[in-house]
Amino acid sequence: MPQPFLTTANHDRDIAGLKYIYPVMSRRAGGLSIGVNFNPNNACNWRCIYCQVPDLKPGNAPGMDFEQLGSELRSFLDYVQHGDFFQDFNIEAGQGAIKDIAISGNGEPTSLEHFPQAIALIGEIARQAGVFPAAKFVLISNGSLLHRASVQAGLAVLAGYHGELWLKLDSATAVGRKFINNSGQSQIKLLEHLKIAGSLCATRLQTCMFHYQGRLWTAGEKQAYLQLLQILQEKAIPVQGVMLYTLARPSFQPEAGQLVAADSQEMTDFAAEIRAMGYEVSVSR
């Protein structure tokens, strides 16, 4: 029986009936993304107020069943490349290509104990299946654990497959990150982690623009963001680009009912300011 239409509004991690692998139509990737969920336990070290994960809890990724991960990824890639995937999931015409393999899921993936080995396994299976280089290899992370040797080793493996780190940056101020992400990350630590990321792997900033009780994405927050980008330039910390997006699916957090998506004009205007500084910018709604 055909599945519901796979759209940007449906990122159900269980849609394919698998533990680790799930397909999504990604706004930022521009089409079909093969997601890899390292956190099926819904555990994360941050709690973003716009998070769409149900029953989110504090914690780390559980132990990885590497045999199951490999089996699921191999069989699912074969299903997409040679099976009836596009018919079964009602994929719209013109969307019949894998845009990326994205490690994301229901928590912070870099909290996985054997993180480098997982990156290597996914990369090698995708390479053998001929997914690369037409598709990207992407890690979506909040960047909070970049001081760990295992995370740095994993980024080095990712870079070996010409992969990218999409690093969450929802505010350029410590106060903003505390409120949006429930994170205690300082400005000094943020810059340290951005420097580490940029030295190991192509890195893009991924930023969600939305409003909540007049406290988010104020003129002051926008100015702080631009100032941070200027500091990155001055310190020669490489950032490949900025990805602006807004809310597309409901949050499962207590603040959900008061979150308001940024409108197109606001995002377009802010993107123009960032672009004027010499950065590549994409906008997704």
Nearest to 182 by CA among 38, 62, 44: 44
In sequence order, the 6+-apart residues with CB closer than 8 A to the CB of 215 are 179
On the question of pLDDT at 13 being above 90, the answer is no
Which run of H or E residues covers position 65?
Answer: none
pTM for this prediction = 0.92
In this structure, are strands 202-208 and 136-141 parallel, antiparallel, or unpaired? Answer: unpaired
Rounded Cα distance between 34 and 262, Å, is 27
Which run of H or E residues covers position 213?
Answer: none
CB–CB of 128/70 below 8 Å? Answer: no
Query: 92 pLDDT band (50/70/90 cuts)?
Result: confident
* Domains annotated on the chain, with CATH: 21-284 (3.20.20.70)
In this structure, are strands 210-212 and 259-261 parallel, antiparallel, or unpaired? Answer: antiparallel
R_g over Cα of the chain:
18
**Residue 200 C-alpha from the chain's centroid:** 17
Q: Say what the pLDDT of residue 2 is.
A: 45
Q: What is the mean pLDDT of the chain?
A: 92
50-54, 112-116, 147-151, 165-169: lowest mean pLDDT where?
50-54
Rounded Cα distance between 171 and 184, Å, is 12
Rounded Cα distance between 204 and 30, Å, is 16
Q: Say what the pLDDT of residue 93 is.
A: 59
On the question of pLDDT at 220 being above 90, the answer is yes
CA atoms within 13 A on the CB side of 113: 5
Rounded Cα distance between 45 and 57, Å, is 8
CA distances to 23, 27, 64, 154 from 239, in Å: 27, 20, 31, 18
Q: Write out pLDDT tens, residues 231-271.
A: 999 999 999 999 999 998 899 999 999 999 999 999 999 99
Q: Say what the pLDDT of residue 236 is.
A: 97
Rounded Cα distance between 42 and 61, Å, is 8
Q: Write out pLDDT tens, residues 35-78.
A: 999 999 999 999 999 999 999 999 999 999 999 999 999 999 99
Rounded Cα distance between 267 and 282, Å, is 10
